Amino acid sequence: MNVVAAFAAILVPYLASVIIAFSRWSWRSKAWFSVFILAFSFILSCLAFILEGPTMLTLHFAPSAGVYAQFRVDWLSGLFGILVTFLSLIIAIYSIEYIGEWGSTRYWLFYNFFVASMLLLIYANDLILLFIGWEGTGLASFMLISFYYDDKKEAWVGDEGRCVFGIPMWSTPTLSGLRALFFTRFGDTSTFLGIATIASFSGTTLYESIHQALHSIPVQLTPIFLLVFYLGALAKSAQFPFHEWLVTAMTGPAPVSALIHAATMVKAGVYFAQRFTPIIVESLKPNEYIGPFTLMLSLSLLTMFALASMALVSRELKLILAFSTASQLAYMLAAVYAGALAFHVEEGVAASLSHLMSHAFFKASLFLAAGAIIHRLHTRYITEMGGLAKYVRITFIAMLFAGLSLAGVPPLLGWWTKDSIVHILGLVSPLYATIALSTGMATAAYTARMIYYVFLAKPHPQHIDIREPPLLMLIPYTLLAMLTLLLGLLWPLLGILLYRIAHTHFTFDFLSLVFGAIAALLAITLTFLAYTSSRWIAANLSRLDKLYNFLYDRWYVNSLVHHVAIKPFSFLAKILRFADSVLDHTIHTLVPETTSGIGHAIRGLQSGDLRRYLFYFLAGVVATATFMALLVGG
């Protein structure tokens, strides 16, 4: 471990984003420059993990005010750093052709800024530093979700004109950017409150101080504190009911969805849980944390299931993947909580991290492939695709492997990692494992449905001339898909290694592995059967109309959020705006008028007449003398 390399890995992309902001290069130069920088950053983060050296770096900003910047590399941040830089490099290569010229400065500026902020978040050993990186990723996410600020229809999410309880269900890029900002900021504010609590109880915001702060917080407040502290992570990782922002975030370009909204940024919440849950478990008595963690675990299970059920009916390719992302994030978070509840927190973290990695690979691959297809066909709807397997064979194979990994089909990586989470959940309660397993079936079903609609269904007459995308786009997602296969084959070895680094040991739970495989295969088979004999579908779907609408409209959460949270606030805003206008008119007319009136009166004294000035001087002398006399006399 070498923290200096890690620090350099953070700095380099930050510098690059500044250079890109002011450069006047062609769009190709900017793109290749970024690729080069990210490759460099990738090497640095590898060095940070491999090289021997100091693991802690402290920069003294304002020591007298207790402001430090502390960075640290350990196994968790080291591995996560490598993952982030690797994926950002691969996805950057894909982006060169995908983004092209329009908005290239903005894109590469925020792309590099994002990577740097993400690394800052990862390598920080201080809550404030973590928070700065956290907000940096949020800013980059906002900028890139609304990348198509011209709001072109191809980038929209949802069906135009579809409303539920009077609330529009579709979203434009600019609106989505704001939604993402507001949703995540809501949680961030709460987490910031948690950080402030820690700072006020322990005096610093170093990770080491959390332990001490937890001891000082009154016991009856601990559960509330934990919920407040974790809320930012829940919002960032799109847990129910915050998942809405991630769904509409799909208005961003596909590589952005792949990198930020699937592979890395949304995992910041998971990383947060992985980072702090062991500290909390170590510092508190079980009865103090069981309550909040059980609550958050239930929330994760709900998210897992709810989002998978939405993915079952969605018609938009990227939306399916977005639902799936939120659902898979819930798996990772659930693993951490379950680890804490089962007193195997290290194993929980290791299971969570391994699924995080495997998900990053296959989901990034799926998003990139989906982006390539949407880019070619100019449609977001899977129902308007179909039969593409013949024309884009490599893309089909890549998406198939990545999809099967998502579905949890052996021997792909997703199968191993998902089932180790099921195993951890089983340690807490068989019920939780069952929920996870049935969600796994739903996952396999929506993946199969997606693959069927895009590649195998009856071809759409317009899209016969589709070809494979250029190599720079094709190679990244094919490579990622192959990686999930390769790593899956090697997992019995790599898994043991990973768990050993995480100070725990790998358990082969044959029961969950076998059940997982059977469940996935069963779900895939059933789905294919259902879709190939389309008469059955047609006969039965109409009967499930209400359920279909409920799922298609995302459990009505969007409308609920609007009516419960946004409406009251906008009412409040109206009141405040009125109060403000009253204040504005009084203060901004009254005060300046009075002041400038006095000013002009004073100016009037300055007549330019020397005799008068001498009089003022004398009058001043007399006045001062009188004042002195009063002072001395009194």
Partner 1 sequence: MPIAATLLETVLSSLNVYGLVYLSEVAVLAIAGLFGPLLGRRAGFALLVTALLYTLVASILFLTCTPRKHVLFNGMVVIDTYTSAVLAFAAIVAILDTLAAKNVVERFGVAEPFYAIMALNLLGVLSVAYAGSEILIYISWILAAVSSYVIVGLARDSIAAEAAIKYGVMGAFATVLLLYALTLNMYLTRSLYLLPIMLPDKLTLSVFVFLVATSIGFKMGVVPFHAWLPDVYGNARPILVAVVASSAKILATLFILKLLLPPAFTTPDIVAPMIAVLAAVTMTYGNLAALAAPTPQHLLAYSAIAQAGYLLVGFAGLAHLPVTLPREAMAGVLLQVVGYAFAKSSAFIALDYYREHCGSSWSSIKGAVKINSYAALAIILSLLTLLGIPPSLGFWGKLLIAFSIVSYSPLLVLVMVVNIAISAYYYMKFAHHILFEEPSTETRKIGTLPSDLRVWTALTGALLSLILGLVLPSYALSISTIPLF
Q: Which residues bind partner 1 (CB under 8 A)?
A: 595-596, 598-600, 602-603, 605-606, 608, 610, 612-614, 616-617, 619-621, 623-625, 627-629, 631-632
Q: Please state the closest distance from residue 199 (CB atom) to partner 1, in A.
A: 23
CA 364 to chain centre: 14
For residue 78, the tally of other CB atoms under 10 A from its CB is 24
Residue 69: in which H helix or E strand, if any? strand 67-72
CB closer to partner 1, 538 vs 605: 605
Cα–Cα distance measured from residue 338 to residue 234, given in angstroms and rounded to the nearest whole number = 16
Q: Please state the closest distance from residue 202 (CB atom) to partner 1, in A.
A: 28
CB closer to partner 1, 538 vs 630: 630
Q: What is the dihedral of CA 165, 167, 169, 174, to 10 degrees?
A: -170
Phi, psi at residue 61, to the nearest 5°? -85, -60
Q: Please state the closest distance from residue 67 (CB atom) to partner 1, in A.
A: 16
CB closer to partner 1, 533 vs 626: 626
CB-CB contact of 98 with 375 (8 Å):
yes
Q: Please state the closest distance from residue 167 (CB atom) to partner 1, in A.
A: 42
The residue with tokens 């959390």 is 210
CB closer to partner 1, 461 vs 634: 634
CB-CB contact of 321 with 363 (8 Å):
yes
Cβ neighbours for 76, distance < 8 A, ≥ 6 positions apart: 271, 274, 275, 349, 353, 502
Closest Cα to residue 445, out of 313, 263, 247? 313
CB-CB contact of 195 with 128 (8 Å):
yes
What distance, in Å, lies between the first and last C-alpha atoms of the chain? 74
The residue with tokens 């072109």 is 152
Q: Please state the closest distance from residue 616 (CB atom) to partner 1, in A.
A: 5
CB closer to partner 1, 161 vs 633: 633
Cα–Cα distance measured from residue 449 to residue 534, given in angstroms and rounded to the nearest whole number = 13
Cβ neighbours for 387, distance < 8 A, ≥ 6 positions apart: 455, 456, 457, 458, 459, 460, 463
CB closer to partner 1, 26 vs 595: 595
DSSP 259: I
Q: Please state the closest distance from residue 584 (CB atom) to partner 1, in A.
A: 16
Phi, psi at residue 215, to the nearest 5°? -70, -30
Peptide linkage before 292 cis (omega within 30 of 0): no
Q: Please state the closest distance from residue 423 (CB atom) to partner 1, in A.
A: 56
CB closer to partner 1, 522 vs 590: 590
- Looking at the DSSP assignment, which residues form a beta bridge with residue 69? 59
CB closer to partner 1, 564 vs 621: 621
CB closer to partner 1, 529 vs 583: 583
